[in-house]
Structure 1
């Protein structure tokens, strides 16, 4: 009975067991070489096998009709194919080698990447914080890279012959309306954002992607972190401000909050100032970041910040007979942005969307005159990307609503602009040695009722395992400065054409890079301040409001080259880099009566940065030496032909040596970071530019005075404690 029962059950199981299909095949690379150990399986099942030493596989499956076959192998792109089951013919599968920094060319012309290991690492957040002379300011650190001009008395990024208005700051794809604290006469303002907010930084010195616009020279792309770096409360205190922050993370979400108050009285009491402050800068603010992973691949990020500051000073004013003018300012700034990213179909489709809103207002007076201003920007952005292995196709759109208001000596000006753009971009690998990125961008501005189309293309060719050359060309447009649009809405877009050739070699933590460029400027705004039919009368007052007739008759050029060398290998623990930039540029724009080199240009810029971490004492030392050649300035006492007198004088060379140090220690298992810095160790009395007082008492000669830094030699000390046993500091990044 027992034996018969067992035989019966075996027979029954044999009859009801589903029919099986045997899948066989071979996995190779594109050249037909076998790939042993590749993982081959059917999606949604446990049916599969690994390839043998000859690349062959064989396994049974009970699935019927159709199924999706997946193949994966380290160093190669994942393979996916829908197959019909029941066919006994062997399958032949060829995998494509995955892109990486060693075997694939990467588009890099005009761009410095940071914290993106697949490309090249230039400046990480810790680089920015620990670099002497940068003062933990992102844009100040960018000024130590090739392609920039250091303009000490003005705010912004000045790139390859471009003014500060020609560079834009972008956070997670969204343009930041007011990335710097409000400007003051002859004082350079800091950026509003902290380095550790961001996981990556890409600084474009030209030829940038069709995804971005409204910048004739460059864009600084900042990507916020996807999760908090620490857990618990951190407290910071220095000579300028005190702050507290809180971080908390769960499996699917995290939150970060900060609050701070600053008053520069303690610092100014110790560091002699070259400015007559009537109200020492005082500021307070807060920020909040929330991150949520609603799905496996989706990520929602919300960020908001608010700041409030006030200050007062008597600044040197060439237009005032007294020589000085009282300046008062109260600034309030609010910025919020939200982004959602997701992917599906095994990562072949990528979504990036965002919304942001910013509002900034300055209650500003020059003497008793009201020069208040405000700006407001709301924007939305949507980008969809389709990946085809290493290749990709991207399409996107963005829309902005911008409102600008300005009061000038009691006269109110205002404008509203609905700006929109569509863009398309593809990246194609024509083999392992050649890559092409091509794109096109169309923009419309309602305030001038104009539309433009800007083509862009970049090519890169791999010359060796660690080296490549890149070539980039593109057209870039920008809406004219709003000060001109207040009085003339018939102006056209300003335009710049970029041509860039790049060579780079990255090997063994050493980077060598040389890049040459040419920029052609067209349709620049010109202002005519003289009488009709008479030559333009140049007014060197930097605080003047344009009142002359304007058109788009300006033009210009910028050409030059940059050299970059970074070595993190030769001396253990020592990281240093050297940059040199040369630019030759002239323009006919603004009030210029003839083509000339603008006042914000220094033809030669050199930077030497050294950093050494001493492991035994947990201390990082950084030394930065910068040299900039003299800049043009207007000398009204010169007589003769304009070509020989207009902006032909030069300031002295600007020389700065800075030192910073940071020390990491532990108090009751809580991390403590102490830091100190000294700027301009040699106490060099640098001159940024010269200005002239008005002629008086019938004497045509005007008196020159120098404009320099707000202090010649300064120092700064402070510290931070992380009140959490879970807090971490990556010593390898110091």
Structure 2
């Protein structure tokens, strides 16, 4: 009998030692989620929900524990429980996971290429195979809405902004010299290889508070995290020859490039409109190293060096001979390193970087020195905290040391600037349909001895499963052109205020996008010379200056891309309209600047032929006439150049020899040989004008890339 009571007492104690946990798992709308997993974290106790979403289980655990519920397509939810042997009832309401279909994406003013689930606009080979882009990143960007084509100057011109108002950023670090050295009436290409980058984000305005010193836009380039193990490669074309080598292991990789170029063979075959005395000759190299020192940490170091020289007779209407001899020798170096990491299960993200750039132009005009030198050292640190519900907050800072020198007629001008900035930004998802990004940026320039505060904000609302509207607004500051600061260091920041409204639909590999904008310019630099307007774009300013200028730019963009309707056929159509006037520089009243065309349109097509492994591409680009200065017209900048039309074609073929991949490519620019005019210039007496056009009217280019590795792969999705 004692044994019976002992067993009865023991079983009763065990029963009282258990805790019953039961409840229900539902979504936010109260719909049951059958088959959801419910469990105590760190134990084997748990169950799955039945057809009504209900769950029930017992546990011997005591004190406190975390009860969690998970279901495919929903965020994991958990709650703290106090386990004291009493029945616990709890209801979970799970929140749907964020994805490209059910969550709004803040995109006003930006084209993303780094997230293929959203907007895969321009991949590296997409850039290379765009006819008319000449395998140049900014050349391809010019065919996106918002960008304008200005054929005789380097730079990226966006929505009424000059080429100086757009900054190129690599892994968060500003690039001091993204283009080859400026030449009179010759458009220069970018310095960087598209294959360096895994993603391209082009902002037409309203960009993040993380970036500054750009009144119009930023072009964000993100380098690849790991090189493909392609081994040795050889590049041969009419302009240069190069070697590249890629090697990768599990945790590290290295990529090396060396090249030599001489454009004399190409210019012998393609008639030039430039009087070359020594065709451009160049050489250079680059080295990229990537290391994963921890599970999530990535260290990337990139360095490049280039050396070039050329000589030409540029047109000079003020000279009796009508020309001026230019000699240029350039040396450029750029080194950047970044380290990214995360901890606390990805809730904290680190993004840090350090870079140094140096550029030297030894340049003479008719033996008179106009040397240029600049260097920039910068450091950057950004911390991001991911919060529940897809929300996040980031904060960071950056510091730059900038040194500039410019020799003009034997006088050496020099500047030194210590530029620092701090910023904070938060993304807030009110619902899956409504989200906002609020940020602020503060900047200080020791050269100006001034500080500014720039608020930025954007909102997006999901109007359907595949569509949304977005709104962006903010203030953006930039130091004046350093040529003005050489003579007047009391100038203020120039400012632009952006307002952008966007609508887009992305469905079944088709993208429709419409965006309208208004941009207000303030504190622009004005120059007062007391003389007639000087249209020479290369003049060195000498008049008195202040920040009394202002202006506006307004318009809309249209974009349509279809990669689905026709098998192996991809095309996109863009159209941009901009209306802009400014009172700045030497202008005595507001007028449309010479770099602005009201209408820009393009049609890009790409067709892949499976049987012959060939991609055939075509681009048509239209640019309406731009203003130019006519000293014989009493109305300032009232004359317009003819419209520019250009049709280009490009073909790429994949083949192999003994298992080694070979890519053959050929292109023809301006296939119809249209005599396009970019602008006109006049002699000082105003009696004679001459046209400024492209470096050559019709040109062609052929080359090959040979990859001496059986591991190398390229398919139609890349071309």
TM-score range for the pair, normalised by the shorter chain length? over 0.9
1:485 and 2:485 matched: yes
In the alignment, which residue of structure 1 is the partner of 2:10? none
In the alignment, which residue of structure 2 is the partner of 1:109? 108
Matches within 5 A, 1:309-320: 309-320=308-319
* Structure 2 Cα separation of the partners of residues 81 and 335 of structure 1: 51
* Structure 2 Cα separation of the partners of residues 561 and 376 of structure 1: 37
Distance 1:32 1:395, change over 3 A: same
Matches within 5 A, 1:56-71: 56-57=54-55, 65-71=63-69
Matches within 5 A, 1:234-273: 234-273=233-272
Measure how far apart 1:351 and its partner are.
1.3
* Structure 2 Cα separation of the partners of residues 280 and 476 of structure 1: 40
Q: Deviations over 1:410-469 (max 9, x none)?
A: 111111111111111111112122111111111111100011111111111111111111
Distance 1:405 1:99, change over 3 A: same
Q: TM-score, normalised by structure 1?
A: 0.93
* Structure 1 Cα separation of the partners of residues 253 and 168 of structure 2: 25
Q: Deviations over 1:223-264 (max 9, x none)?
A: 111111333111111111111111111111111111111111
In the alignment, which residue of structure 1 is the partner of 2:334? 335
Q: Deviations over 1:167-201 (max 9, x none)?
A: 00111111111111111111111111111111111
In the alignment, which residue of structure 2 is the partner of 1:217? 216
In the alignment, which residue of structure 2 is the partner of 1:4? none
2:611 is paired with a residue of what secondary structure? helix
Would you say the 8 A contact 1:261–1:285 is kept in 2? yes
* Structure 2 Cα separation of the partners of residues 213 and 137 of structure 1: 24
* Structure 1 Cα separation of the partners of residues 289 and 56 of structure 2: 49
Distance 1:40 1:670, change over 3 A: farther
In the alignment, which residue of structure 1 is the partner of 2:73? 75
* Structure 2 Cα separation of the partners of residues 407 and 44 of structure 1: 71
1:144 is paired with a residue of what secondary structure? coil
Distance 1:583 1:320, change over 3 A: same
In the alignment, which residue of structure 1 is the partner of 2:533? 538
Between 1:645-654 and 1:109-118, the stretch displaced more is: 109-118
In the alignment, which residue of structure 1 is the partner of 2:375? 376
Measure how far apart 1:38 and its partner are.
3.5
In the alignment, which residue of structure 1 is the partner of 2:580? 585
* Structure 2 Cα separation of the partners of residues 73 and 126 of structure 1: 39
Distance 1:657 1:38, change over 3 A: same
The one of 33, 46, 53 aligned to 1:35: 33
1:731 is paired with a residue of what secondary structure? coil
The one of 597, 602, 613 aligned to 1:602: 597
In the alignment, which residue of structure 2 is the partner of 1:3? none
Measure how far apart 1:325 and its partner are.
0.7
In the alignment, which residue of structure 2 is the partner of 1:691? 681
In the alignment, which residue of structure 1 is the partner of 2:693? 708
Distance 1:58 1:281, change over 3 A: farther
Measure how far apart 1:23 and its partner are.
5.3
Distance 1:683 1:459, change over 3 A: same
1:397 is paired with a residue of what secondary structure? strand
Measure how far apart 1:363 and its partner are.
0.9
Q: Deviations over 1:355-411 (max 9, x none)?
A: 111111111111111111111111111111111231111111111111111111111
Measure how far apart 1:573 and its partner are.
1.3
Would you say the 8 A contact 2:551–2:583 is kept in 1? yes
* Structure 1 Cα separation of the partners of residues 279 and 22 of structure 2: 78
Distance 1:666 1:60, change over 3 A: farther
Would you say the 8 A contact 1:304–1:334 is kept in 2? yes
Would you say the 8 A contact 2:20–2:88 is kept in 1? no
* Structure 2 Cα separation of the partners of residues 702 and 594 of structure 1: 24
* Structure 1 Cα separation of the partners of residues 163 and 174 of structure 2: 15
Matches within 5 A, 1:446-595: 446-530=446-530, 537-595=532-590
Matches within 5 A, 1:293-442: 293-388=292-387, 389-442=389-442
Measure how far apart 1:28 and its partner are.
2.4
Give the unaligned 5+ runs of structure 1: 1-14, 531-535, 696-700
Q: Deviations over 1:712-733 (max 9, x none)?
A: 1000000111111111113223
In the alignment, which residue of structure 1 is the partner of 2:647? 657
Distance 1:378 1:59, change over 3 A: farther
Distance 1:428 1:294, change over 3 A: same
Would you say the 8 A contact 1:283–1:310 is kept in 2? yes
Structure 1 vs Structure 2 CA RMSD: 2.1
In the alignment, which residue of structure 1 is the partner of 2:619? 624
Q: Deviations over 1:594-637 (max 9, x none)?
A: 11100001111110111100111100011000010111111112
* Structure 2 Cα separation of the partners of residues 478 and 594 of structure 1: 23
2:228 is paired with a residue of what secondary structure? coil
In the alignment, which residue of structure 2 is the partner of 1:533? none
Q: Deviations over 1:122-166 (max 9, x none)?
A: 222221111101111110111001111100000000000000000
Between 1:119-128 and 1:433-442, the stretch displaced more is: 119-128
Between 1:219-228 and 1:24-33, the stretch displaced more is: 24-33
* Structure 1 Cα separation of the partners of residues 129 and 576 of structure 2: 23
* Structure 2 Cα separation of the partners of residues 128 and 94 of structure 1: 46
Between 1:23-32 and 1:130-139, the stretch displaced more is: 23-32
* Structure 2 Cα separation of the partners of residues 362 and 35 of structure 1: 68
* Structure 1 Cα separation of the partners of residues 83 and 223 of structure 2: 46
Would you say the 8 A contact 1:236–1:718 is kept in 2? yes
Measure how far apart 1:53 and its partner are.
3.5
Would you say the 8 A contact 2:277–2:313 is kept in 1? yes
Give the unaligned 5+ runs of structure 2: 1-12
Measure how far apart 1:60 and its partner are.
6.5
Would you say the 8 A contact 2:150–2:678 is kept in 1? yes
Measure how far apart 1:66 and its partner are.
4.5
* Structure 2 Cα separation of the partners of residues 464 and 560 of structure 1: 26
Q: Say how many residue pairs are matched.
A: 706
* Structure 2 Cα separation of the partners of residues 714 and 283 of structure 1: 20
* Structure 2 Cα separation of the partners of residues 476 and 635 of structure 1: 33
* Structure 2 Cα separation of the partners of residues 691 and 480 of structure 1: 26
1:670 and 2:653 matched: no
Measure how far apart 1:529 and its partner are.
1.1
Would you say the 8 A contact 1:319–1:541 is kept in 2? no
1:119 is paired with a residue of what secondary structure? helix
1:614 and 2:609 matched: yes
Would you say the 8 A contact 1:384–1:394 is kept in 2? yes
Measure how far apart 1:55 and its partner are.
3.3
Measure how far apart 1:85 and its partner are.
4.7
Would you say the 8 A contact 1:523–1:552 is kept in 2? yes
1:732 is paired with a residue of what secondary structure? coil
2:351 is paired with a residue of what secondary structure? strand
Would you say the 8 A contact 1:318–1:541 is kept in 2? no
Measure how far apart 1:84 and its partner are.
4.6
Measure how far apart 1:496 and its partner are.
0.5
Distance 1:42 1:479, change over 3 A: farther
2:118 is paired with a residue of what secondary structure? coil
Q: Deviations over 1:678-699 (max 9, x none)?
A: 000000010001011222xxxx
Would you say the 8 A contact 1:636–1:702 is kept in 2? no
